[in-house]
């Protein structure tokens, strides 16, 4: 149903301190009352959300000088992965390789699908390929899906005009198109938010923080990250991509000890005040002959001054701090920066492609506004190791949490944004 700028689907959105629902705890035999156990560390590494290349190099030199680091990869991990997901900056020079342009016929078909959907009187959360038929455009979207799950790992659908539609129709359109890539959509926070608005917060001090450069990361819990570009910044703000498979190959060849560190299941992920207060798992997996990377820097080290690490949560060891920064700086050597245009629908394989964002500046005339959707394609998603199966189930399969569909950014009566994207749940 549509109510004053947001759509609500049935469910229970009451606040809970439990990170896992009762159903998930029973299904996966999770003891939510017992925090993960890590070895006692007398002093944790001094590392924060912002990357510090000088500190990284100093830490690397100290650890290498200490000697005794593993010189072989963990058992079963490949010396090198191959395929279209292994790419670097020089491999991708022409955007036509990954941008799909909507034709006039495509746009007419989208408009017809919107009309058919509205004639059925369906709620916005019921958008699927069956209810939003795109018989001809579906072929192009099938190629996009193949690019994501079996190709280079990202694609852009370009040509929508956000000004051509009412906001409710625009939302149905980008949900309808994206459903051909991943029909299931995930809950992106503990409130069950299905759409997250990546915007500034109308709070000067927080906006300075969230307009800064972001380090490389993944969105933690989705196989396909979808971003609809509703508006762009006056300057900067582009999304930068890098292949985690390329990063893996470089680290496996030069620093196998860091692969050990990334693959060890003792990384502490903060649940920010819930029970358990944190959980542990690896950042890097080798499963079903694929390398999977999944991490959010904020959940590991916080993002001061507003999102500090929860009290009592373990910090990172020196080895973990070096490994986390090594992933970022290696990715910087191989990144690409696709053009960001209004109306773009951007799709990213979140299991193998890392992303970061450039710093940006808004103006009175234009302000950066992306809408984030987490997509799951059950038939195309890679096989997942148990820790990620639990995470995916929490986001895509947990009916005990209701859904909230904010088609516009939720605001208080003072006009300040109450909840926008800035973290991964």
Q: Give residue 304's pLDDT.
A: 82
What percent of the chain has pLDDT above 90?
77
The DSSP symbol for 102 reads: P
Which whole number is the average pLDDT over 1-9? 40
Alpha-carbon span 132 to 113, nearest angstrom: 5
Q: Give residue 208's pLDDT.
A: 54
Complete domains list, the chain, with CATH: 2-36+62-98+154-163+185-406 (3.60.130)
Q: Give residue 305's pLDDT.
A: 77
* Chain segment 54-113, per-residue pLDDT in tens: 999 999 999 999 989 999 999 999 999 999 999 999 999 899 999 999 999 999 999 999
Q: Give residue 203's pLDDT.
A: 54
Three-state secondary structure call for residue 163: helix
Q: Give residue 380's pLDDT.
A: 98
Is the pLDDT assigned to residue 205 strictly greater than 70?
Answer: no
The full length of the chain comes to 425
The DSSP symbol for 275 reads: B
Unique residue bearing structure tokens 């190099």: 57
Three-state secondary structure call for residue 214: coil
List, as one string, the DSSP characters of 24-92.
HHHHHT--TTS-------SS-----SS--HHHHHHHHHHHHHH-----SPPTT--S---STT---GGG-
The burial of 335, by beta-carbon neighbours within 10 Å (0-12 exposed, 13-18 middle, 19 or more buried), is given as middle
- pLDDT tier for residue 26 given thresholds of 50, 70 and 90: very high
Task: Name residues whose C-beta falls within 8 Å of residue 307's C-beta, 6 or more positions apart in sequence.
Answer: 272, 298, 422, 423
Which whole number is the average pLDDT over 285-289? 98
Average pLDDT over the chain reads 89
C-alpha angle 369-372-375 in degrees, rounded to nearest 5: 160
- Token pair, residue 112, equals 């017809």
Is the pLDDT assigned to residue 174 strictly greater than 80?
Answer: yes
Contact 300, 393 (CB under 8 A): no
Angstrom distances, CA of residue 299 to CA of 53, 84, 110: 21, 30, 38
């Amino acid at each position: 149903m549509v109510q004053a700028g947001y759509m609500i689907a049935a469910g229970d959105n009451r606040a809970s301190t439990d990170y896992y629902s009762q159903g998930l705890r029973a299904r996966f035999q999770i003891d939510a009352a017992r925090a993960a156990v890590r070895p006692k560390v007398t002093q944790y590494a001094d590392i924060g959300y912002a990357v510090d290349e000088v500190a990284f190099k100093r830490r690397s030199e100290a650890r290498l000088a200490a000697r005794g680091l593993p010189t072989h990869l963990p058992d079963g991990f490949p010396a090198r992965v191959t395929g279209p997901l292994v790419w670097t900056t020089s491999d991708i020079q022409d955007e036509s390789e990954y941008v799909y342009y909507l034709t006039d016929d495509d746009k007419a078909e989208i408009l017809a699908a919107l009309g058919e959907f509205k004639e059925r009187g369906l709620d916005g959360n019921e958008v699927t390929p069956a209810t939003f038929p795109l018989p001809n455009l579906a072929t192009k979207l099938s190629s996009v899906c193949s690019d994501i799950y079996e190709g280079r790992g990202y694609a852009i659908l370009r040509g929508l005009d956000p000004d051509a539609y009412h906001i409710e129709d625009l939302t149905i359109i980008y949900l309808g198109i994206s459903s051909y890539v991943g029909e299931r959509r995930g809950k992106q926070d503990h409130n069950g938010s299905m759409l997250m608005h990546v915007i500034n917060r109308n709070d000067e001090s927080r906006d300075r923080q969230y307009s800064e450069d972001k380090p490389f990361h993944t969105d933690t819990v989705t196989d396909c990250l979808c971003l609809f570009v509703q508006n762009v910044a006056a300057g900067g703000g582009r999304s930068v991509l890098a292949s985690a498979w390329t990063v893996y190959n470089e680290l496996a060849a030069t620093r196998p000890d860091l692969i050990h560190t990334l693959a060890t299941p003792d990384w502490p992920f903060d649940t920010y005040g819930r029970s358990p207060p944190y959980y542990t798992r690896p950042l890097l997996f080798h499963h079903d002959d694929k390398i999977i990377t999944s991490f959010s820097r904020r959940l590991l080290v916080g993002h001061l001054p507003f999102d500090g690490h929860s009290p009592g949560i373990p910090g990172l060891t020196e080895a973990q701090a070096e490994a986390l920064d090594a992933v970022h700086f290696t990715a910087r050597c191989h990144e690409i920066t696709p053009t960001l245009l209004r109306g773009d629908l951007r799709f990213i394989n979140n299991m193998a492609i890392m992303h970061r964002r450039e710093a940006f500046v808004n103006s009175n005339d234009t302000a950066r506004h992306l809408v984030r959707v987490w997509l799951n394609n059950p038939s195309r998603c890679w096989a997942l190791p148990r820790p990620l199966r639990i995470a995916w189930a929490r986001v895509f399969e947990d009916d005990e949490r209701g859904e909230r569909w904010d088609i516009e950014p939720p605001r208080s009566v003072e006009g300040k944004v109450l909840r926008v994207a800035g973290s991964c749940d």
